Amino acid sequence: MRWENGEWGFERELDALRRVFQEEYCFETTTWIIPSNESSQYDIMSNALNFIRDFDNSDNLFILYYAGHGLINRYRQSTWAL
């Protein structure tokens, strides 16, 4: 997953990683574009929970690759950051 308006070239990085997973290992992949808005934290968590709910199976392997930064908020919690 990456931010919709990230400026660090993560789009190329994620495309390259997606090709490796699909072409070399025959994995299905999904790319999430994180909206840059007030509810982005909720969007990330909602997408992750829905994905797990829809595909949870002992035969599945979940790999989450996050292209972005993180920080500790005022409540000392880890936070996804643009």
pLDDT score at 82: 63
Q: What does residue 51 show for φ and ψ, rounded to 5 degrees?
A: -60, -45
Reported as a single tens digit per residue, the pLDDT across 10-52 is 888 889 999 999 999 999 998 888 888 888 888 888 988 999 9
In whole angstroms, give the CA distance from residue 71 to residue 79.
Answer: 5
pLDDT score at 72: 85
Reported as a single tens digit per residue, the pLDDT across 46-74 is 988 999 999 999 999 888 888 877 888 88
In whole angstroms, give the CA distance from residue 54 to residue 43.
Answer: 16
Better pLDDT: 9 or 54: 54
